[in-house]
Structure 1
Amino acid sequence: MTPLFPALAARADRPALQFGEDTLTYAELADDAGALVPRIAGARRIAVWATPTLGTAVGVVAGLLAGVPVVPVNPKSGERELAHIVADSAPDLVLAEPGVGLPPGLAATERVDVVTRATRSGPLPDGGSADGGPAPLPPEPSPEAPALIVYTSGTTGPPKGAVLPRRALTATLDALEDAWQWTADDVLVHALPLFHVHGLILGVLGPLRRGGSVRHLGRFDTAGVTRELSSGATMLFGVPTMYHRVAEALADDPALVKALAGARLLVSGSAALPVHDHRRITAATGRGVVERYGMTETLMNTSVRADGAPRAGTVGLPLRGVELRLVEESGEPIEAYDGETVGEIQVRGPNLFTAYLNRPDATEAAFTDGWFRTGDMAVRDPDGYVRIVGRKATDLIKSGGYKIGAGEIENVLLEHPGVREAAVTGEPDADLGERIVAWIVPRDPDAPPSAGELADHVAGQLAAHKRPRAVRYLDALPRNDMGKIMKRSLRG
């Protein structure tokens, strides 16, 4: 059976992981992760305290080599959320970097320190061979074996653990190899957290599957992006908040402009990148940003291709092996590719999770005849490109008989020179059903654009019924760790 990480199995002598000054080649990663395998083999599940460190990456790889399901845990989890995840997943062990303190919620779980070349002063710990060399790596588990249990954000209740089999990882990462022309020559730079799909699966396991390397910044800043893209890195992964900071910095940072212009691929995900930031980055660097669309339960569904033209506001076409359809509220599939008809995205394919841990009811409710119901609303352009207009629960506004996606209104608001940040929600209205509300962070708090000015601005770019009926001003929009706007916090 083909290994998940061929370069690791071959113990290639080339860079695999770099976290600050800490680096490992594939051979060293095989040694360090392999040394952990005897310690964790046979466990039902293991948790990894997912700090942005080399130890986290090594711990996850060790779990995958051992065939033990890995639960990445957000180190910023609140007490209640952490208690739920630990009780729900019941890990036998928790892996963490040596010296890193763990919260009381994990006190009852046996700890295993992840010793790496960067933290080891002596020879390999238990797990080396009898002659002092590295232990052979275990055989590859079944494609259907659980690889990771990644918890959802819990916006509609306690977080659910999505059980991701090995075939979901390989299906997504190999489809992205095709879409992004991803090779062993690529060097990825990012600063994403390592407890979710984007930062861990795409950002660490993706390069390792290709046989390339990843350079993790630890903490995002444009200086780090400039440094790494100017010294051999070819790809940048980020979320919209990061690309917004990049766009803001370009005018005064020629070194950043040059670094981005020299990158092979810039990828944004986890939320929609505002069209305004797309255009600013492309205008300054000549390099477009590629967007893709995925979620915890499905990994990646669509992407703009590296060999195609980046198109602001779209997430591209379904990836190889992924079936995607839009459906009406009645459940009827939408056949029109007209760029206007809004429907819920449903997907099926080898990239999907197998179940929510301990939640057969939620698993059953998530599927319709084998199609996973994403809860995301979109339209399809005549050429098949998908444009997401928002979440069904928070971004689909039904006003005056129209179905309106909040995303397109937000993009237009962000083009107004007086707007720094914008979010759009709906709220009950006796006449319209719902009225459109714009939440605005002005560029100049002392002279914000008026509600009438913003309504006219939207009506001039979109249909008049999409103009905001109310405008509320904020100092900042509430966001989660991934930079996504927490719209439920704006209601009420």
Structure 2
Amino acid sequence: MTLLPVLRGSGADRADAVTVAGEALSSEALLGCVTAVADRIRGATAVAVDGTPTLEAVVGMLGAVLAGAPLVPLPPGADERERSRILRQSGATVILGRALSGADGLPTIPVDLREHASTRHPEPAPGSDAVILYTGGVSGPPRGVRISRRAIAADLDLLARAWHWSEEDVVVQGTPLFRAYGLVVGLLGALRAGSRFVHLDHTGTGPVGSMHLASPDQWARMALDGHRARPLSAARMLVSADGPLARAVAERLRLLTSHRPVQAYGTTETLVALTGLGGDPTVPGAVGTPLPGVETRVLDREDRPVPADGESVGELSVCGPTLFSGYVGGRSLAAGRWHATGDLVSVTPDGTYRIIGRCGFDVVHSRGRRMPARQIEEVLLSHPGVRDASVVGTPHHALGEQVTAYVVAEGVTAQVLIDHVGRYLSAGQRPRRVHFVDELPRSALGRIRKSLLIAGG
């Protein structure tokens, strides 16, 4: 099994096979640079690369994949202590690119795009680890997830068939290269399909392409900028993943581009498991149907199957060829084993899925009702004075949990926001407490740390 045919000399030689922040490499130059990196790290146990999106970082990442050394992308926002923890836990023995604080004395090998080589590296075993990615850290310290070459190939091939992805496509994205969505789906997916790949600079400006990948927060910013959004009408497909996309954002993008973004679903452990295709695109959290060959089940708190009636809610578990191999420092995942995602979903009678939120964090349990926090957050974010918002359930003596909102806003009062929610949702969904903060606590990977909000509520 060849994971990335382009790194074996397959496909046409394109002048702009990979472009990052305006710098491009041809297919031939990319292969030569990547091979030179692979030569220098031969025998490494695991290879760390700073996740800041540069052409050197992409070449370093692909060099690790070609050499068969597990790639460990480091979040640029991680502090020295977190970087040190990731390097130590992952077993990285070398860092590619620039020297980093918290490197614990590991050797650093610079990536020089002028260096080329033509060595033929053997294809690693399909079951060997291709990458070690760290989870978002929403409920605690991020965990290292081992993902095999076989799982990545299976997921990308299934996605290619579902999305009609071919070598004629141009994949454009600005999603982080240290997350599964940006690295596996975006970069590795484009190279496996033989597509051109473009990673945008920090401004998010660049070519349109035929497939545009972005995260929900990026789509939200784009929806407010018609100048940037309107050219996307020329794209074949807009894709959102790595979190729920607000209905107001999706509708605004439809008006600007004539496209509704496909809302795919996956986790670091499962990769993309639900295609975003099928179902009602106007329903918040609608993520379509599972990829062929990916099995799913939805269980309640007593581990009983939840009926597919579009209303009943349970925790989603996944089983199939796209699953991770295990956590760093833990036992490998047995073949055929189910992975509980920690996400609450409902399933419609036609088999399409809707993501409600994370167990224990994204659902408020009040008077026996389950209220999706995201629905309340969407309404709060629709107020022009609100820049960011997060909703959690905090203890209440009579209700069980009360709706508590943490908001980054200007020129509004708590009562104004409570009334604003009340105009769109039920009385029980109005926040009972509103905390104004300068910023929301986020993990090194950019996820809101709702556990900290609940602890402080």
Superposition TM-score, scaled by structure 1 size: 0.85
C-alpha separation in 2, matches of 1:38 and 1:23: 22
Q: Deviations over 1:311-355 (max 9, x none)?
A: 442111111221111111111121x12221111110011111111
CA shift in 2, pair 1:26/1:46, >3 Å: same
Aligned residues, how many? 452
Q: Which residue of 1 aligns with 2:241?
A: 269
C-alpha separation in 2, matches of 1:95 and 1:439: 39
Q: Which residue of 1 aligns with 2:432?
A: 469
Q: Which residue of 2 aligns with 1:281?
A: 253
CA shift in 2, pair 1:475/1:50, >3 Å: closer
Q: Which residue of 1 aligns with 2:108?
A: 111
Q: Deviations over 1:172-212 (max 9, x none)?
A: 11111122211111111222221121111112111001101
Residues 113-132 of structure 1: pairs in structure 2 closer than 5 A: 113-116=110-113, 120=114, 124=116, 128=117
Three-state SS of the structure 1 residue aligned to 2:223 is helix
Letter of the 1:456 counterpart: G
Three-state SS of the structure 2 residue aligned to 1:31 is helix
Residues 303-382 of structure 1: pairs in structure 2 closer than 5 A: 303-305=275-277, 310-313=281-284, 314-334=286-306, 336-360=307-331, 370-382=337-349
Residue in structure 1 matching 2:365, options 365, 380, 398: 398
Deviation (angstroms), 1:23? 1.3
C-alpha separation in 2, matches of 1:416 and 1:49: 37
Q: Deviations over 1:204-235 (max 9, x none)?
A: 111001101111123143xx1xx411xxx112
Letter of the 2:393 counterpart: G
Letter of the 1:327 counterpart: L
CA shift in 2, pair 1:189/1:481, >3 Å: farther
C-alpha separation in 2, matches of 1:26 and 1:429: 60
Q: Is the 8 A contact 1:388 1:407 kept in 2?
A: no
Residues 287-298 of structure 1: pairs in structure 2 closer than 5 A: 287-298=259-270
CA shift in 2, pair 1:182/1:311, >3 Å: farther
C-alpha separation in 1, matches of 2:419 and 2:50: 48
Dislocated runs of 4+, deviation >6 Å: none
Q: Deviations over 1:242-276 (max 9, x none)?
A: 111111112xx3xx344111111111111111111
Q: Which has the higher contact order (CA 8 A, sep 6+)?
A: 2
Larger Rg: 1
C-alpha separation in 2, matches of 1:74 and 1:451: 34
C-alpha separation in 1, matches of 2:395 and 2:95: 46
CA shift in 2, pair 1:455/1:64, >3 Å: closer
Q: Which residue of 1 aligns with 2:94?
A: 93
Q: Is the 8 A contact 1:186 1:234 kept in 2?
A: yes
Three-state SS of the structure 1 residue aligned to 2:249 is helix
Letter of the 2:394 counterpart: E
Are positions 1:150 and 2:149 aligned together?
A: no
Deviation (angstroms), 1:459? 3.7
Letter of the 1:487 counterpart: K
Q: Deviations over 1:113-141 (max 9, x none)?
A: 1222xxx2xx63xxx3xxxxx223x2322
Q: Which residue of 2 aligns with 1:131?
A: none
Deviation (angstroms), 1:478? 4.1
CA shift in 2, pair 1:480/1:84, >3 Å: closer
Deviation (angstroms), 1:155? 3.5
Residue in structure 2 matching 1:450, options 416, 434, 448: 416
Deviation (angstroms), 1:456? 2.6
Q: Which residue of 2 aligns with 1:485?
A: 448
Q: Is the 8 A contact 1:193 1:200 kept in 2?
A: yes
C-alpha separation in 2, matches of 1:369 and 1:4: 22
Q: Which residue of 2 aligns with 1:383?
A: 350
Three-state SS of the structure 2 residue aligned to 1:278 is helix
Residue in structure 2 matching 1:244, options 220, 230, 242: 220
C-alpha separation in 2, matches of 1:368 and 1:410: 38
CA shift in 2, pair 1:76/1:410, >3 Å: closer
Q: Is the 8 A contact 2:66 2:123 kept in 1?
A: yes
Point out where structure 1 has 5 or more consecutive residues left out of the alignment. 129-133
Q: Is the 8 A contact 2:387 2:408 kept in 1?
A: yes
Q: Is the 8 A contact 1:419 1:449 kept in 2?
A: no
C-alpha separation in 2, matches of 1:456 and 1:156: 29
Q: Is the 8 A contact 1:270 1:293 kept in 2?
A: yes
Superposition TM-score, scaled by structure 2 size: 0.91
Three-state SS of the structure 1 residue aligned to 2:365 is strand
Residue in structure 2 matching 1:171, options 147, 150, 154: 154
Q: State the percentage of identical aligned residues.
A: 38
Q: Which residue of 2 aligns with 1:82?
A: 83
Deviation (angstroms), 1:448? 6.4
Deviation (angstroms), 1:111? 1.6
C-alpha separation in 2, matches of 1:279 and 1:482: 27
Deviation (angstroms), 1:479? 4.3
Point out where structure 2 has 5 or more consecutive residues left out of the alignment. none
Letter of the 2:207 counterpart: E
Are positions 1:67 and 2:38 aligned together?
A: no
Q: Which residue of 1 aligns with 2:100?
A: 102
Letter of the 2:448 counterpart: I
Q: Which residue of 2 aligns with 1:42?
A: 43
